[in-house]
């Protein structure tokens, strides 16, 4: 009489397979066994002794869905071509620069992202960085902690947020949440985006230099693509001017970081609040000496609330996919 397979093995055979090349940060916050492994059989490439290409080839015919994240590895055309049965790439991020979108489109592979789950938290961080830079919160905190107040006297004045002209680069889901928050502070909103947004009356600028020249503050909210890499260059920074402030909660490489360092060191712009950097986790040391620069280690999306919402939408997307229902957060062609 044949032995009965263990229950766990039967259960894994009954659950849909989802390929994961590297555990996303979500799995470190919420144990993947609690949510995902109850519903899906996760093929964990990072636990396999096989080289990645052999692991993918082994599962090539059975894998229809892949879960990935911006922390790598990149989902290249080479990886996609090793997976002839895949029809869904699901990412934990809002950005898509780690996915070969062209190859996915060519193959008819659907892409789904994190939807709106990060938008409010990232917008909060953008406003927090801006207030910190303008009102010198972190710098004055250091001044007090170092015992300089009784020695050097009053700390230099900060600047008021209300009434500032805010240029938003990328009026998508996150950019719109930033705009709503800053309107409540009495700021004027201007924007640049791939196309004019019919649902807002904010002034639209096709030229980044013109947007910068007419703004007190630039807030970078767009994604990183070949077109947006280093699009905030020296010309744009100089157009922003000596009193201007730049906030980046998009991706580090959208700004030419070398030029940003030079402009800040030479006093050619007024300050910066940065959650992202071009070569993370390596940050230019020149920033460390500047009191008009506020730094954060790429944490804008990291709250317990956003991770719970992310877990829910990822599971919802996978359940919809394997039930032949519409995805909850599909990435549409622009």
**Residue 59: inside a domain, yes or no?**
yes
Give the chain's length.
334
Q: Which two tokens stand for residue 203?
A: 């002034």
Residue listed under structure tokens 């790429």: 298
Residue 181 sits in the same domain as residue 286: yes
Burial class (CB within 10 angstroms; exposed 0-12, middle 13-18, buried 19+) of 84: exposed
Q: Is the domain of 87 the same as that of 31?
A: yes
Q: Say if residue 83 is in the same domain as residue 171.
A: no
Q: What is the pLDDT of residue 2?
A: 43
pLDDT above 80: residue 12: no
298 has catalytic annotation: yes
Residue 39 belongs to a domain = yes
Number of domains in the chain: 2
- What DSSP state is assigned to residue 30? S
The enclosing domain of 256 has a CATH number of 3.40.50.720
What's the rounded mean pLDDT across residues 13-21? Answer: 89
> Are 166 and 287 contained in the same domain?
yes
First-to-final CA distance of the chain: 59
If asked whether residues 254 and 313 sit together in one domain, one would say no
Token pair 């170092």 is found at 146
CA–CA gap between residue 189 and residue 180 (Å, rounded): 9
Same domain, 112 and 133: no
Catalytic-role residue among 251, 257, 259, 278: 251
Question: Which pLDDT band holds residue 27 (cuts at 50, 70, 90)?
Answer: confident
Domain check: are 291 and 314 in the same one? no
One domain for residues 101 and 124: no
Task: Considering the candidates 98, 181, 298, 319, report the single residue annotated as catalytic.
Answer: 298
Looking at residue 13, its pLDDT comes to 59
Q: Would residue 183 count as lying in a domain?
A: yes
Domain that holds residue 244: 119-295
Which is the catalytic residue, given 9, 38, 47, 280?
A: 280
Do 93 and 233 sit in the same domain of this protein?
no
What's residue 9's pLDDT? 44
Residues 149 and 284 in one domain: yes
Q: Same structural domain for residues 284 and 166?
A: yes
Q: Check if the beta carbon of residue 159 is closer than 8 Å to that of residue 136.
A: no
Q: Name which of 221, 219, 209, 284 is nearest 246 in CA terms.
A: 219
Q: Does residue 331 form part of some domain?
A: no
Q: b/e for 272-284, b at 16 or more Cβ within 10 A?
A: bbbbbbbeeeebb
Indicate the range of 9-18, 260-269, 300-309 predicted with least confidence. 9-18
| Cβ–Cβ < 8 Å for 271, 245 | yes
Asked if residue 10 has pLDDT above 50, the reply is no
Model confidence over 279-315: pLDDT tens digits? Answer: 999 999 999 999 999 999 999 998 999 999 999 999 9
Interval 194-242: pLDDT, tens? 999 999 999 999 999 999 999 999 999 999 999 999 999 999 999 999 9
Mark whether 142 and 98 lie in a shared domain. Answer: no
């Amino acid at each position: 009489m044949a032995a009965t397979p263990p229950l766990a093995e039967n259960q894994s055979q009954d659950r849909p397979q989802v390929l994961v090349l590297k555990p996303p940060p979500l799995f470190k916050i919420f144990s993947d066994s609690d949510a995902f492994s109850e519903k899906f059989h996760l093929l964990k490439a990072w636990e396999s002794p096989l080289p990645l290409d052999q692991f993918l080839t082994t599962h090539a015919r059975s894998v229809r869905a892949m879960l990935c994240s911006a922390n790598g590895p990149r989902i290249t055309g080479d990886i996609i071509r090793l997976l002839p049965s895949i029809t869904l790439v699901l990412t934990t991020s809002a950005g898509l620069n780690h996915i070969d979108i062209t190859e996915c489109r060519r193959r008819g592979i659907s892409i789904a992202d994190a939807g709106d789950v990060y938008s409010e938290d990232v917008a909060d961080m953008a406003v927090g960085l801006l207030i910190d830079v303008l009102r010198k919160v972190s710098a004055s905190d250091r001044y007090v902690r170092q015992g300089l107040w009784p020695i050097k006297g009053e700390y230099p004045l900060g600047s008021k947020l209300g009434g500032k002209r805010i240029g938003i680069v990328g009026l998508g889901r996150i950019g719109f949440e930033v705009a709503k928050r800053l309107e409540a502070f009495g700021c004027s909103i201007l924007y640049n985006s791939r196309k004019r947004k019919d649902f807002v009356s904010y002034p639209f600028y096709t030229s980044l230099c013109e947007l910068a020249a007419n703004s007190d503050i630039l807030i970078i909210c767009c994604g990183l693509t070949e077109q947006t890499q280093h699009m905030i260059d020296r010309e744009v920074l100089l157009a922003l001017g000596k009193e201007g402030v730049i906030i980046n909660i998009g991706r580090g490489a959208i700004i030419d970081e070398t030029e940003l360092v030079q402009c800040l060191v030479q006093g050619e712009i007024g300050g910066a609040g940065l959650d992202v950097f071009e070569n993370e986790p390596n940050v230019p040391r020149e920033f460390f000496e500047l009191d008009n620069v506020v730094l954060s280690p790429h944490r804008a999306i990291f709250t317990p609330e956003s991770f719970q919402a992310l877990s829910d939408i990822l599971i919802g997307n996978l359940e919809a996919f394997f039930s032949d229902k519409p995805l909850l957060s599909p990435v549409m062609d622009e």
